[in-house]
């Protein structure tokens, strides 16, 4: 059902909103974030599925790839004819992306990257779209050329064929039933020396020639790493917006209900709406005030993100990280 709903959104053009016009989109990040906010009112499974396909997977190709990747992949990503995954997190590493253990070693003879999961703790874990639907994954791995290591880079790796079966060397498992969001097919991925073409490296910030020469306009490895991760900040902006939308929905239901639900009262008098009780007000109204505050903070973040410049990116990244955590934490309260 969640996949069918996601396909309907794609059919109506909502999947490609952030993509360039020549790839079927509108280059409109504001509309894209607004879709997250609206979907979170109704179906959080759909928010996650939509975000994985068009935000994380599509966004990685859009922001980390170059024109050759955009032309080849984005039209089918936007229509959901090419379902995909964002394979960053591992069993042993999540937030500490720099220490990911999956490797991508350049094989000069075949002009290919060899993708390998060195041990079980390096398996890609909790990857949305992986268990059932995904056919292509943006895999984050340590780039190795000869005896040199160049840090974490993103490479497109096919994980399933058109028939839905795993590609040779790819092992896939379903993460199983969860406490929530069971409309999302989270899975695990292992790679046993899987070969993909050199061109599958998303090379906006670093390029590798046929002879294995590595070049980048960003000379500092640290700056290059954070620049690559910074291009994916839109995911945090969108999730933050969705989190506060979920909080708005929950509070709307709770406060409206408390205004009509009556309980106890003075002898001989009508029962009192539970919203009149101070203990009930103290439970709901501070959360309502925080929701308003987050609403305006998130509007500021969205404006800064849409109009961002290289000089403002550090500020945007900090705001996005803080507000994503605060907004989703608030929603769970």
Note the pLDDT tens digit of each residue in 185-198. Answer: 999 999 999 999 99
- The pLDDT tens digits for 55-67 are 999 999 999 999 9
136-145 and 103-107 strand pairing: parallel
pLDDT-derived band at 224 (thresholds 50, 70, 90) equals very high
Instruction: State residue 196's pLDDT score.
Output: 99
Q: pLDDT averaged over the chain?
A: 96
pLDDT of residue 33 exceeding 90, the answer is: yes
Question: What count of other Cβ atoms lies within 10 Å of the Cβ of residue 55?
Answer: 26
- pLDDT reading at 231 higher than 80: no
Q: What angle do CA 187, 15, 93 make, to 5 degrees?
A: 30
Tens digit of each residue's pLDDT (9 = 90 or more) over 82-112? 999 999 999 999 889 999 999 999 999 999 9
Q: Output the pLDDT for position 94.
A: 86
When pLDDT is cut at 50, 70 and 90, the band that residue 218 belongs to is very high
Average pLDDT over residues 253-272: 93
Q: What percent of the chain has pLDDT over 70?
A: 100
Average pLDDT over residues 193-215: 98
Cα 110–115–117 angle (5° rounding)?
150
pLDDT score for 258: 97
Whether the per-residue pLDDT at 170 is higher than 80: the answer is yes
Q: How confident is the model at residue 272 (pLDDT cuts 50, 70, 90)?
A: very high
- At residue 191, the pLDDT reads 99
Structure confidence at residue 227 (pLDDT): 87
- pLDDT recorded at residue 230: 81
Quick one: average pLDDT of 181-208? 98
**Whether pLDDT at 306 is above 90:** yes
Can you give the pLDDT at residue 311?
87
User: Taking the complete model, does pTM exceed 0.85, yes or no?
Assistant: yes
- The pLDDT value given to residue 310: 83
pLDDT at 95: 85
Q: What is the pLDDT at residue 265? A: 85
- Please give the pLDDT value at position 229: 85
Tell me what pLDDT residue 146 has: 95
What is the reported pLDDT for 232?
Answer: 81
User: What percent of the chain shows pLDDT beyond 90?
Assistant: 92
| Confidence category of residue 19, pLDDT binned at 50, 70, 90 | very high
Full set of structural domains in the chain with CATH? 2-82 (1.10.540.10), 85-218 (2.40.110.10), 234-332 (1.20.140.10)
- Cβ count within 10 A of residue 264: 9
């Amino acid at each position: 059902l969640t996949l069918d709903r996601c396909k309907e959104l794609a059919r109506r053009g909502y999947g490609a909103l952030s993509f360039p016009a020549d790839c079927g989109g509108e280059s409109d990040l504001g509309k894209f974030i607004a879709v997250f906010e609206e979907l979170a009112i109704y179906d959080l499974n759909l928010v996650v599925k939509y975000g994985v396909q068009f935000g994380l997977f599509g966004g990685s190709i859009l922001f980390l790839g170059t024109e050759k990747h955009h032309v080849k992949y984005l039209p089918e990503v936007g229509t959901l004819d090419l379902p995909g995954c964002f394979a960053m997190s591992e069993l042993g590493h999540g937030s500490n992306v720099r220490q990911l253990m999956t490797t991508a070693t350049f094989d000069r003879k075949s002009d290919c990257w060899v993708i390998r999961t060195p041990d079980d703790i390096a398996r890609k874990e909790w990857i949305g779209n992986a268990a059932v639907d995904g056919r292509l994954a943006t895999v984050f791995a340590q780039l190795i050329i000869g005896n040199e290591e160049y840090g974490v880079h993103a490479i497109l790796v096919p994980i399933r064929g058109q028939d839905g079966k795993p590609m040779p060397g790819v092992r896939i498992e379903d993460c199983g039933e969860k406490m929530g969001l069971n409309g999302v097919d989270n899975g695990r991925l292992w790679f046993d020396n899987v070969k993909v073409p050199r061109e599958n490296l998303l090379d906006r910030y670093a390029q590798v020639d046929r002879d294995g020469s590595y070049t980048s306009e960003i000379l500092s490895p640290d700056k290059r790493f954070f620049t690559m991760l910074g291009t994916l900040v839109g995911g945090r902006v969108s999730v933050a917006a969705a989190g506060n939308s979920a909080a708005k929905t929950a509070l709307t239901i709770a406060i409206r209900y408390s205004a009509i639900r009556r309980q106890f009262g003075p002898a001989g008098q009508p029962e009192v709406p539970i919203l009149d009780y101070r203990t009930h007000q103290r439970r709901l109204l501070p959360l309502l005030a925080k929701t308003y505050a987050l609403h305006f903070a998130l509007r500021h973040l969205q404006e800064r993100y849409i109009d961002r410049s290289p000089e403002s990116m550090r500020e945007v990244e900090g705001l996005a990280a803080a507000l994503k955590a605060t907004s989703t934490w608030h929603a769970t309260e």
